[in-house]
A and B are shown apart, each in its own frame.
Chain A
Amino acid sequence: MSKLPKPDELLKDLDLHKTPEKHWMDIAPEFKPGKFCYAVEPQVMEDLGRPHLGKWQPYDEKWPLPDDWKERILKGIRDRMERFRSFKLFMDICVRCGACADKCHYFLGSGDPKNMPVLRAELIRSIIKGEFSFFGKLFGRMAGARPLTEEVLKEWFYYFYQCTECRRCSVFCPYGIDTAEVTIIMRDLLHELGIATDWAMKPVRFSHFIGNHIGLQPHTIKENIEFLLGDIAEITGLNIEVPINKKGAEILFVTPSADFFADPGIYTFMGYVLLFHHIGLDYTISTYASEGGNFGFFNAVELAKKLHAKIYEEARRLKVKWILGGECGHMWRVWHQYHNTWFGPFNYMDIPRSPITGTVFEHAKDNKIVHICEFTADLIAHGKLKFDPSRNDHVIVTFHDSCNTSRGMGIFEEPRFILKNVCNNFVEMPENTIREKTFCCGSGSGLNADEYMEMRMRGGFPRANAVQYVNQKYGVNTMACICAIDRAVLPTLMKYWVPGVEIAGVHELVGNALIMEGEKERTTDLRYRPLKGMEEEV
C-alpha cells in the first residue's frame, strides 16, 4: 500500500479550471500507487470459468494481451451496441455541452479532465468513431475519433475504474446520458479479455460458491448473529432469537452480509432484529442467500444475475410470502432496476402486505421486495412504534443519500421520516449535496480497495466537504446512511477529512430509540456508548 498524502497535500494543486497543455488523446494514464486497483488473480477467474490475462498488473509496461484482443474488443463493442439501446444512443447524442463536467466527485477531487463524465465517455466514443464511422476515419481527431490501441485499453481500465456508477452526471445531462451505464458496459467489455480487479472479483467468487462477499460459512453467520444477540441482551435485557433458514416464515429478510460482521453495520443489524422482535414479525434470515450486495454488478451483467438468483430460489424453497430488504445502496439498485427483468414473474409469492399495519405495498406488487425504510416508515405512520428519541441525544445526525437508492430508486423521504422520529437533532447538509444531487462516498462500485486509498479520499472529498460544513456549523457528529458500502467506507473517509464524525445505519438509531416491552432501562446505545445523562451509570 502506498503512503497516503495528508489532507492538506492532497488537494494542494487542484484547480478545476486548469487544463493540460496536451490533447487528452496524447496523455497516457500513469498507474501511480493509490490510484488504481490491483488486477484480478487468474485463479479467481478460472474458478468462475471466465477468461483472464494470467499474472499481470496494470502498471506492467506490456499487458499480456491475447493475439486477437482487438477483434474481440471490436466484436464486443458491436455486440453491446446491438444489445443495449442505452449504449448506442449515449454514444451518438452527446453534444459535449459540459453540463456534466463539474458534477463528478472524482473530477472535483482530482481535477483530472478525463474524470469529466463527457470525456470519460469520449474514451470509448472516440473508438467507436475511429473504428466504425466513415467520417470519423476521414477527419480523425477533428471529429473526436482515434484508433484502438493497447494504450486505449489501459486508459479504459484506469478510468472506468475511476467511476463509481453514482449517476450524478445523469441528473444534470440534458439528455439523461448516464455514465454509470457506460461504465457498466465498459467493465463488461473489458471482461471479454478477462481484465478485472481483484477487489471486485474475489467477493464475486465468494458470493457464488459460498453465498456472501467475505465467504462466511453458514455456521459462522449463526455464531456472529448469536454474538450480536448477546450484546443486545446485555444492553436491553431482552433475549431475542433470530430465525435462520426457517421454512414457512412469512418474510425473507435479506441484507448485505457486512451487516452480519462489520463495524458499524452490525449495529444496524441489531436495530433490525430489535424492531422485528418488537413487532413480532414472522421472518427468517437465510445463510444460503446471505448476501444482498452484488459485486457481480460492478463487473459484468451476467455475473450480477448469477449471484442474485439465489435469493429467489431461497424465497421459493422457504415458501415465504415476500422479501424484505435491509439498508444497502447498490443491492437496492439491482433489486429495483434489474430483478424483475432477470427473475420475474414471481407468482409463488404474494403482494407484500405489512402483517402489522395491513398496508399493501402496491408499488412493489410485482417483484415482491420491500425496502426496510418503507416498512418502518409505514409502522411509524400507523403509530405502531414508540420511541424515546432522547436516547439518541448524544448524536447530532445528518443524512447521506446513497447514490443508488436516490438516483436509481427515488427513496428520499422514508429514511428522513424515520430519522426525524427517532432523533431530536437532525440537520440537513447543503441542498446541492443531498437528495438527487447527493455525492458518492467515493468508494462505491467495488472500488473500496485499500490499494486505491488516494482516489477514494479524492472521490469522497465533495461528500466529506459537505459533512465538514455541518460539523463545524451545527456540531454534527453522526452521518446516517442506508448503504452498506457507505458504512464500510465512510468511517475511513471521515477519519481522513472530518475526524469526529461517525457513521450509522438508520436502523441503528431506530434500535436505540425503540421503547420495547420487557426491556431494562438502557444506559448505553447499541455501541456501548453512554446515553446522554447516563455517563456515570456506565
Chain B
Amino acid sequence: MRLSTPNIQLNEKGKLRHFLTIEGLKHHHLTEILDVAESFIDPSTGDINKLDTLHGKAIMNLFFEPSTRTLTTFEIAEKRLSADVVNLNIETSSTKKGETLLDTLWNLEAMLADMFVVRHSESGAAHFIAKHVAPHVHIVNAGDGQHAHPTQAMLDMFTIRKHKGDIFDLKVAIIGDVQHSRVVRSQIQALSILEAREIRVIGPKTLMPSHPEALGIHVYDNVEEGLEGVDVVINVRLQNERMKSALLPSEKEFFNLYGLTKERLAFAKPDAIVMHPGPINRGVEIDSEVADGEQSVILEQVTYGIAVRMAVMDIIFRNAKELLEEKRQALLDINTMETSE
C-alpha cells in the first residue's frame, strides 16, 4: 500500500528542492525552516533585515487565484532577500486566451525564471508544475486548491514556537472549516511532524473531510469539549468560495454553535494563544473581543510570515547551490584522477 506522495520536493541529498507540501517532510526539514526564519529576525528590535542572498535570482509570483496578503508577504520576503521579483496577473495573461498552463510556464521559464511562487485553485497544481518545469527552476506552493499552504503552516508553527518554546507535547484545537482549508491540512501535517501531543478539530460534519482519521485528528462536534485544556486555538474561516453546496444553515447559526467567544476560550488553558491565518470574519467565526484580545497573536503571524517565507526561499537556493558545487567538485575530482593516471 502506497501511503505517501513520492517526494518530488526533495533533491537527491534529501534536501528541499521545492516546497509543495508539508506531507512527507521530516522533523529536521521543518526545524531548519523555523531556525533560519528565527535568524532573520533581529532579537533586539524584532525587525527583519535586508539581505543580498538572492541577488541576481528571478522569482515570479504566479497567482492564478486572487490573494493580497500572501502575495504581499511573499513579495516583501523576496525583496528582503534582494531577488528580482515579477508578479504575474494571471487574470489578464495568456491562459485566458487559450494558452495552456504548461505553455505559459515554459514561456516564463524561457524568460530565465529561477523560482515560481504559485497559487492555484486546483489541489495538486503545484505538484503538477514542479513535475514539468526545468530542473533548475524551483516551485514554492503559495496555496493549491484545498490541498496545501505550507508556508502559512510554517509561519503558524513559528508563531506557536515563539510563544510556547516548542510544539512538542502541545494540545492544539482547530475550529472551523477543515474540509475546504488547505491551510488546515498543512497545519495538521506540521503539528504532527513536530510531535504535538493532540490535534483536535472542531466543527460540524459538513465541514470535515470524509475520513478525518486519515489526517490523524480527533473530531469534536462540541466546542467546549474540543477546547478543554488546549494550549493553542487556531480559528479558520469559512471557505465560502470553495463550498459547492449548502453546508451550513447560516453564518449566524455557525457563530452561535462554533464561533470563538471569550466564554468558550475560557475552556482552553489560561495561557492558550489564539491564532487565525486570516482574513478573519468578525462575528462569523471569531468574536472581536477574542480577535483583538490579549491571547490573540493574529497580527504577529503576519509579520512572521515574511521571515518564514524568506527562510524557505533561502534554504531552497542554498540547497541547489550546495548540490551544484558538490557536482562540480566531483567532476573536478574525476578530471584530476584522469590527469594523474
Q: Are A and B a genuine interacting pair, yes or no?
A: no
